[in-house]
């Protein structure tokens, strides 16, 4: 009996010590509105229950303020849509690192690539990989973009007269082909898993596992993951991806890629291989960098195109304006090649794409973690170890910034005079600051070229109403229901 009493006392003392070690987190609760949720789980279950109603965070901030505190499991989570606070975070050297739970979930599934690295390794790797995203490299990709988009337009042409069709998978397949060819080169053409779409499906599966493991960190425990069946699925998908990448990397290592006409020296794979040969990164890092770039690029670019088509179908007056601009730049709708010079003339399409990214950002939520105590411009001290969630979706719909029409599609939000009046951190589809998206130029180039060819050839329509869109909280933006589109041939 004495031993039991001593054990109880020891547990109580341990619990008091545990709570005391986290006192600064609890003090933060006194300064910010929010909710703790359930013990150990925080709001993880609520998050999963309300995934289909992502606007619950916006509604909560409408009521309590634009910066709130909650708990994701045992981890305090500060969530904000305030552009001033967002700037504090994104320009601070104390907030360079992504959430440790997100990083460990990525590392476990994809590897130690640029997207998941932490300081000080991240800064070094970013400088090493920057040459792969210079404008002169991206311009080499126009033939791939034109060729793959021509195939997509040919496919969409078969939907003429078929009524409304769900084209999301077709657009994602197009985006995946663009992403993997510009990352890995032509070597992927003959891979069977690429041709039968199993490679794309594995990347999508891995992305869903990363999301699940981030929201519910205890699932990263190997035993729990095995019991839930997640580990078996992860190993299967990771093995397929890694086998494909290894075959291509090994083939490239056997040749001088810089002397191969289809291989541009500073594409991601060639840049990574050069760094490997120079001893700057490991063999595993080569595969990780390629895999990370493919995973980060294809769904976001594909979703941007799809979301823009949906919104233009719902708001045909804006679609007509975009079409008139395209008709001026491309007088005939027959197969045409889009050049960089053409893209510079599509200023209205720029505004349309930006407005689509505002209302339906491909990445709706951005987690960062404080590496040191960090004081916000409003005076609140955020202790080391707190995760700061930048709610991009809610930021882009913040009525304090965007006015009473914050939730309405209106490309005029991106007229020059309107941009100048807004806080520069009110629109952050690719993040900002030191750790902004390394591939943002390529993402916009891909989306704009794809949309230019589609909208010049087709008028898109839908009976799905804008007000019926339901947003699902996920690693990438997801809609609860996939609106179908009808295609009519333009003259």
Q: Dig out the tokens for 471 from the structure.
A: 């947003």
Q: Minimum mean pLDDT among 115-129, 193-207, 358-372, 451-465: which range?
A: 193-207
Determine the pLDDT at residue 467: 94
Determine the pLDDT at residue 48: 54
Domain ranges of the chain: 22-489
Q: What are phi and psi of 78, to 5 degrees?
A: -90, 120
Q: What are phi and psi of 158, to 5 degrees?
A: -75, -10
Determine the pLDDT at residue 49: 56
Whole-angstrom distance, CA of residue 58 vs CA of residue 64: 10
Q: How confident is the model at residue 263 (pLDDT cuts 50, 70, 90)?
A: low
Q: Which residue has the higher pLDDT, 186 or 315?
A: 315
Which listed CATH number (3.40.30.10, 1.10.150.20, 1.10.630.10, 3.40.50.300) goes with 22-489? Answer: 1.10.630.10
Determine the pLDDT at residue 178: 94
| Predicted confidence (pLDDT) at residue 478 exceeds the cutoff of 90 | no
Other residues' Cβ atoms within 10 Å of the Cβ of residue 419: 14
CB within 8 Å of 360: residues ≥ 6 apart: 303, 307, 311, 471, 477
DSSP readout, 69-134? EEEETTEEEEEE--HHHHHHHHT-GGG-SBPHHHHHHHHHHT-S-TTT--TTHHHHHHHHHGGGGS
Q: Minimum mean pLDDT among 200-204, 388-392, 408-412: which range?
A: 200-204
State the SS3 of 198-226.
Answer: HHHHHHHHHHHHHHHHHHCHHHHCHHHHH
* Cis peptide leading into residue 120 (ω within 30°): yes
What's the CA dihedral at 57, 356, 304, 395 to 10 degrees? -30
Contact of 211 with 72, CB cutoff 8 Å: no
Q: Is the pTM of this model over 0.85?
A: yes
Q: How confident is the model at residue 121 (pLDDT cuts 50, 70, 90)?
A: very high
Whole-angstrom distance, CA of residue 218 vs CA of residue 441: 36
DSSP readout, 417-463? HHHHHS-TTS--TT--STT--TTHHHHHHHHHHHHHHHHHHEEEE-S
Query: Percentage of the chain surpassing pLDDT 70?
Result: 92
Whole-angstrom distance, CA of residue 98 vs CA of residue 366: 8
For 24-79, what is each residue's pLDDT tens digit?
A: 777 787 788 866 554 555 555 555 555 555 777 788 888 888 998 887 667 788 99
Determine the pLDDT at residue 437: 93
3 state DSSP class of 135: helix
Contact of 370 with 94, CB cutoff 8 Å: yes
Q: Is 439 exposed, middle or buried, given 0-12, 13-18 or 19+ CB atoms closer than 10 A?
A: buried
| Predicted confidence (pLDDT) at residue 22 exceeds the cutoff of 80 | no
| Predicted confidence (pLDDT) at residue 353 exceeds the cutoff of 70 | yes
CA 181 to chain centre: 19
For 96-108, what is each residue's pLDDT tens digit?
A: 998 777 778 777 7
Contact of 102 with 367, CB cutoff 8 Å: yes
Contact of 357 with 300, CB cutoff 8 Å: no
Contact of 454 with 152, CB cutoff 8 Å: yes
Determine the pLDDT at residue 95: 92
Q: Which residue has the higher pLDDT, 444 or 103?
A: 444
Contact of 444 with 305, CB cutoff 8 Å: no
| Predicted confidence (pLDDT) at residue 436 exceeds the cutoff of 90 | yes
* Residue corresponding to tokens 């050049």: 339
Q: What is the mean pLDDT of the chain?
A: 87
In order of 303, 468, 477, the CA distances from 482 in angstroms are 11, 11, 12
CB within 8 Å of 159: residues ≥ 6 apart: 165, 167, 486, 487
Residue range 346-354: mean pLDDT, rounded:
98
Question: Treating both helix axes as pointing N-terminal to C-terminal, what angle do 198-215 and 283-314 enclose, rounded to 10 degrees?
Answer: 90
Q: How confident is the model at residue 257 (pLDDT cuts 50, 70, 90)?
A: very low
DSSP readout, 283-313? HHHHHHHHHHHHHHHHHHHHHHHHHHHHHHH
């Amino acid at each position: 009996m004495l031993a039991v009493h001593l054990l109880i006392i020891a547990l109580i003392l341990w619990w008091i010590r545990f709570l005391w070690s986290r006192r600064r987190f609890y003090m933060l609760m006194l300064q910010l509105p929010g909710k703790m949720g359930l013990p150990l789980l925080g709001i993880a279950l609520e998050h999963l229950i309300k995934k289909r109603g992502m606007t619950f965070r916006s509604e909560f901030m409408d009521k309590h303020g634009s910066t709130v505190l909650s708990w994701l499991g045992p981890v305090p989570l500060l969530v904000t849509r305030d552009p001033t606070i967002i700037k504090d975070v994104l320009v601070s050297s104390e907030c360079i690192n992504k959430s440790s739970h997100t990083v460990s979930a990525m590392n476990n599934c994809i590897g130690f690539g640029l997207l998941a690295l932490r300081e000080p390794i991240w800064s070094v790797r970013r400088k090493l990989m920057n040459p792969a995203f210079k404008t002169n490299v991206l311009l080499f990709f126009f033939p791939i973009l034109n060729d793959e988009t021509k195939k997509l337009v040919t496919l969409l042409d078969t939907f003429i007269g078929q009524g409304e069709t769900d084209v999301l998978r077709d657009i994602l397949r197009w985006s995946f082909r663009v992403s993997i060819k510009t990352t890995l080169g032509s070597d992927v053409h003959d891979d069977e898993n690429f041709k039968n779409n199993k490679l794309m499906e594995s990347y999508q599966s891995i992305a869903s596992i990363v999301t699940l493991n981030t929201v519910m960190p205890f699932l990263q425990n190997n035993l729990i993951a095995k019991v839930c069946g997640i580990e078996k699925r992860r190993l299967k998908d990771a093995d397929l991806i890694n086998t494909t990448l290894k075959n291509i990397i090994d083939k490239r290592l056997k040749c001088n890629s810089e002397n191969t006409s289809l291989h541009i020296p500073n594409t991601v794979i060639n840049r990574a291989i050069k760094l490997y040969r120079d001893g700057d990164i490991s063999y595993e890092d080569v595969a990780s960098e390629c895999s990370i770039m493919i995973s980060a690029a294809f769904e976001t670019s594909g979703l941007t195109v799809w979301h823009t088509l949906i919104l233009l179908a719902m708001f045909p007056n804006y679609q007509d304006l975009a079409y008139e601009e395209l008709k001026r730049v491309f007088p005939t709708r027959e197969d045409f090649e889009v050049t960089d010079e053409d893209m510079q003339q599509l200023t209205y399409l720029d505004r349309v794409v930006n407005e689509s990214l505002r209302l339906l950002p491909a990445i709706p939520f951005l987690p960062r973690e404080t590496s040191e105590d960090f004081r916000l411009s409003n005076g609140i001290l955020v202790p080391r170890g707190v995760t700061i969630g930048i709610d991009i979706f809610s930021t882009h719909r913040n009525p304090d910034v965007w006015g009473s029409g914050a939730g309405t599609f209106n490309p005029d939000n991106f007229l020059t005079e309107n941009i100048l009046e807004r806080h520069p951190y009110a629109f952050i589809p690719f993040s900002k600051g030191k750790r902004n998206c390394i591939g943002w130029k390529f993402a916009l180039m891909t989306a704009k070229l794809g949309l230019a060819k589609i909208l010049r050839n087709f008028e898109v329509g839908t009976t799905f109403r804008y007000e019926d869109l339901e947003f699902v909280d996920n690693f990438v933006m997801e809609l609860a229901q996939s609106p179908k589109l009808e295609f009519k041939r333009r003259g």
